[in-house]
Amino acid sequence: MKPLTVNFRSKAALTLADAQIQQSIEHVYTGFFKGRLTAAGETPDWENLRTKGKAIKDHTIANLDYYLGLLTDNVEKNGGSVFFADDAEEARQHILDLAHKLKIKTVIKSKSMVSEEMGLAEAMTDEGFETVETDLGEYIIQLANETPYHLIAPAVHKSRADVARLLDDDYKDGDRVPDATELTMMAREKLRGVFERADMSVTGVNFAVAESGSIALVTNEGNGRMSTTVPRVHVAVMGMEKIVPSIQDLSTMLRILIRSATGQRISTYVTMVNGKRKPDEEEGPEEFHLVIMNNGRQKLLEDPQLRESLNCIRCGACLNACPVYRKVGGHAYGWVYPGPIGAIVTPVLTGLKDADNLPSASSLCGACHDACPVKINIPRMLLELRYRTAEGSTDKVERTSSAKERGIWKAWRMGMMGRKRFDIGSRIASIALKPLSRNGWLKKAPPPLSGWTSTRDFPVIAASSLKSRLKKRSGDLK
């Protein structure tokens, strides 16, 4: 796994200063965000579908042991094997051991955020396997040696010229920039041969269906279907929460996932995999392995305040709706999952100390909650994590706030809790800050508040409270 380097402020500042990236990531708003609104508006029972989706996920997560057991039984009945990995390292090692044992040479990957958690592609390459991403966005990211920028559009921050430079060694600045179709054909040409020689595929899982032991993959490029039919070995990797009880539930979840992700009614390909190839079938792998990973999810499951985050179906709608993500971009969040949902799962899955800025990277406007197809109350959980950062909590999260920060908030709390204290405090602050104000605004507050005014103006603190001014005014009127 890549080392965790959450340095939100400096990475956000880099993105904010990059005009090209700002222009490229605008697509998450003009394309995905608006597409979702249109798709939802055209679906008469949209709110009911969201409610149903939430109920399905609530029920599944509340009975996760049962459904994981049922899924395992049915995958094995279909001739597959199931491996439960406690963490990313165990999952990665299991797949590497499989590849060695089965004398694999070339591995093709279809998009999977769980495999990003494992750092699987790098590990397989390091061990000598030719390992190639086949999702177009992931392929671009692999060539650029970067991490994905967005849950469903990993290379959304790249311009067409950037992609041309990565796909064509002869491309020079100033050459005509190829259009999207030409770029896709360039990638297709390179990837076709890899598909043909691949003897193992690693794919993600959009949903695993417990009652049938099937996995569902949603793609728009067909690489998922090629990956699950051409190589002789198929390994599917999933977080332990990516499960639905029945095929009927899958139908509901697909309707809300696809509309929320890309604004389509249905994606170009929905691939169902029912284990390895049967004797009477012409296509499909000779072996099917399902790797189910915990990697910190148990902590979320045991935490009543944060458990809801396991309902996430990774559609990316909260990223597209988030005014912060749309400016600071995906790499600022430092790990696999960016945006509002990343600001919750990253601190818990990786340890809050490394990611303690993330829950504060939100204006708490609630746009993510409105957008989420399974109605996850993201702002509530962000507030909970902020509280834990400040206060420290028993065993789930380490306290990372400084003594100075806690002192400031304590003084603030005391001031806000008593009318007299509030009035006296406001009066003192108003007098003390008056020399620094200009035209009703405080441009540069002294430490320890200077951080606040380094990027925004602050209105001057009024000399008297609204209540006392109203009182005076009504006296004057009398």
What residue ranges bind ligand SF4 (CB under 6 A)?
151, 312-318, 341, 371-374, 376
Q: CB of residue 240 vs ligand SF4: minimum separation in angstroms? A: 16
**CB of 342: closest distance to ligand SF4 in angstroms?**
9
Give every CB contact of residue 311 below 8 A, 6+ residues apart in sequence.
54, 57, 58, 61, 241, 374, 376
Beta strands in 112-180 (DSSP E): 130-133
- Min CB(94)–ligand SF4 separation in Å: 27
- Minimum distance, C-beta of residue 417 to ligand SF4, in the bound complex (Å): 34
Beta bridge partners of 235: 202, 289
Q: Is the dihedral of CA 160, 164, 167, 173 positive or negative?
A: negative
Smallest distance from ligand SF4 to CB 30, Å: 18
In terms of CB distance, is 258 or 315 closer to ligand SF4? 315
| Alpha carbons within 13 A on the beta-carbon side of 231 | 34
Contact assessment for residue 244 and residue 238, using Cβ atoms and an 8 Å cutoff:
no
When the beta carbons of 1 and 318 are compared against ligand SF4, the nearer one is 318
Residue among 336, 352, 428, 354 at smallest CA distance from 390:
352
Task: Return the number of the residue (204 or 275) whose C-beta is nearest ligand SF4.
Answer: 204
Q: Which is nearer to ligand SF4, 140 or 318 (CB)?
A: 318
Residue 49 in contact with residue 252, Cβ under 8 Å? yes
Pick 120 or 381: Cβ nearer ligand SF4: 381
Tokens found for residue 20: 């090209």
Q: How far is the CB of 306 from ligand SF4 (least distance, A)?
A: 12
**Looking at beta carbons only, is 301 or 341 nearer to ligand SF4?**
341
Q: Which of 106, 63, 460, 87 is nearest to 301 (CA)?
A: 63
Give CA–CA dist 194/72, Å, rounded. 31
